Amino acid sequence: MNANKKTTEMKDMKVKLSTLWVFVMFNMLSADILSFMNPGFLKELMTGYAGEIQITPGFLVVAAIFLEIPIAMIFLSRVLKYRANRWANIIAGAITIAFVIGGGSTAPHYIFLATIEVVCMSLIVWYAWKWPNPNNIALDQGEFGGILMKAIVYTEYGPPDVLELKEVEKPAPKDDEVLIKIHAASVNAYDWHFLTADIFLIRLMGGGLLKPKNTRLGADIAGRVEAVGRNVKQFQPDDEVFGDIGHGGFAEYVCTPESRLALKPANLSFEEAAAVPMAALTALQGLRDEGQIHPGQKVLINGASGGVGTFAVQIAKSFGAEVTAVCSPRNLDQARSLGADHVIDYTREDFTQNGQQYDLIFAANGYHPLSAYKRALTPQGIYVMAGGSMAQIFQAMLLGSWMSKTGGKKMGGVSAKIDQKDLGLIKELIEAGKVKPVIDRRYPLSEAAEALRYLGAGHARGKVVITVEHNNDKAQ
Ligand SMILES: NC(=O)c1ccc[n+]([C@@H]2O[C@H](COP(=O)([O-])OP(=O)(O)OC[C@H]3O[C@@H](n4cnc5c(N)ncnc54)[C@H](OP(=O)(O)O)[C@@H]3O)[C@@H](O)[C@H]2O)c1
């Protein structure tokens, strides 16, 4: 069976199950309506009813029916690891509740049963809301005949040990999406933050308060387009692409909007291309947009040997700046080979104390108090923080704009955004030979946890890449 056919069957199955679910809900609803239209039926069941409710066997049966159906449906969906369409549940629940409330009877039995039902329906609505998106659920082999692929999945924040290589459903592109067969991905501090929630803000800003909302990691990818949605204009099957997709790149396949992709630079392998997007975009947008870099300026890159720093040195050079790279002794030669005009070994020299001043300081890593960075700026100089220690990040966020109010110096930060034009610009720089990715280590997908552990130790030299082999090809 070919891939597309299987995916379509899987979708059909989901639609059918959603329909079945709604049908059951309305069936239950119609039973309620009948009962309310024919109070004699209820009265009969509740023998002895005389204005006051009596707990008889018949009454218990009715009450059990109200409780039973929703509980059975919840149980069933747990067993099937499947949730019917969230909105189908909510609409069915809301209609039922509206009917119950609108029933209007004040008879005690009605109020009692209506209360049970409202509680049950609220339970279903809550459950439907809470149940994770089916796209994130790892299905077992063979369920619904879906095609499976390998992906790195995590369901709780923690160290890299919480990552698991699982078989999950291969995604199918929506109308505006591109399905990519991933050949390589790269690891970023971004993935580390979403894995460990070491920055608490991650939990508050959509990551998930107690556990990750999105159970997949991997922003940077490179691969080949396998299929496109009907509204996709820029790409077609077989195109080689790279991009920053946010989440889901540590997998064999991913679907993503076309706006997050660009054609892969022709002179790069998939592994090299996967090393580029997030780090290069951060360096470009930090230097150009926040740093307002100009030819001939004196620019200092602090943390010049990591993923962002290696791109920052080269991009600053491509803008015609005179670049000073700050790194540890083992990385000085690498910085020179990337084009740095001057290098400073941070273990021997503190650049904020040596009397030199720079038009632009780009802080990719490390830590110096904001006041020290300010001292090392020329009178109209600009400081741009990309990352580094928590102290560096929070000082720049909290004090940056306040410290920029006096004098001509500006203290700020960059928050990189996926931008197709910028990806295109970076592709041009790479194809012109002005920028190249530096790859430190490569890991297979099955060792993604090791890759993250290495990155998390904080001493990667350039980028850490994950290579994706497609052993399932034969089976499809
Ligand atoms: N703002 C944004 O939009 C954005 C986007 C991407 C990344 N970031 C942030 O940018 C930061 C850097 O990312 P990255 O990908 O470059 O990280 P990375 O690759 O993990 O950085 C590792 C490098 O940092 C160097 N380093 C460590 N401590 C240093 C110090 N005190 N002084 C100078 N260099 C030091 C290490 O060199 P040694 O081993 O020689 O010390 C190593 O080469 C991270 O904090 C990340 O969260 C921000």
Report pLDDT for 394.
82
Q: What are the tokens at 210?
A: 């107690």
- The DSSP letter of residue 132 is P
Which of 4, 430, 397 is closest to 227 using CA atoms?
4
pLDDT digits (tens, 9 = 90+) for 29-56: 555 555 555 555 555 544 433 444 555 5
Report pLDDT for 29.
58
Cβ 417 vs Cβ 281: under 8 Å? yes
Provide the H-helix boundaries in 319-351: 332-337
Report pLDDT for 475.
37
> By alpha-carbon position, which residue is closest to atom 15 of ligand 1?
307
For ligand 1, the distance from its centroid to the CA atom of residue 413, given in whole angstroms, is 14
Report helix angle 277-285 to 420-431, nearest 10.
100
Cβ 193 vs Cβ 208: under 8 Å? no
Q: Does residue 474 have a pLDDT over 50?
A: no
> By alpha-carbon position, which residue is closest to atom 31 of ligand 1?
366
For ligand 1, the distance from its centroid to the CA atom of residue 303, given in whole angstroms, is 6
> By alpha-carbon position, which residue is closest to atom 29 of ligand 1?
366
Which of 69, 227, 6 is closest to 14 using CA atoms?
6
Q: Mean pLDDT across the stretch 296-305?
A: 97
For ligand 1, the distance from its centroid to the CA atom of residue 310, given in whole angstroms, is 10
Residues in contact with ligand 1 (CB, 6 Å cut-off): 188-190, 278-279, 282, 302-303, 305-309, 326-328, 331, 346, 364-366, 386-388, 414-416, 455, 458-461
Q: Mean pLDDT across the stretch 307-331?
A: 98
For ligand 1, the distance from its centroid to the CA atom of residue 205, given in whole angstroms, is 22
Question: Ligand 1, residues 365, 397, 440: which to mutate, most atoms within 8 A of Cβ?
Answer: 365
> Would you call 384 helix, strand, or coil by DSSP?
strand
Q: Mean pLDDT across the stretch 270-299?
A: 98
First to last CA, the chain: 7
Q: Which is the closest atom of ligand 1 to the Cα of 328? A: 40
162 vs 374: CA distance, rounded Å: 41
Q: In degrees rounded to 5, what are phi and psi of residue 54? A: -125, 135
Report pLDDT for 205.
77
For ligand 1, the distance from its centroid to the CA atom of residue 462, given in whole angstroms, is 9
Can you give the pTM of this predicted structure? 0.74
For ligand 1, the distance from its centroid to the CA atom of residue 24, given in whole angstroms, is 55
> By alpha-carbon position, which residue is closest to atom 30 of ligand 1?
366
Q: Mean pLDDT across the stretch 74-100?
A: 57
Q: Which residues pair with 227 in a beta bridge?
A: 179
Dihedral sign computed on CA atoms, order 118, 124, 130, 133: negative
pLDDT digits (tens, 9 = 90+) for 436-469: 999 999 999 999 999 999 999 999 999 999 999 9
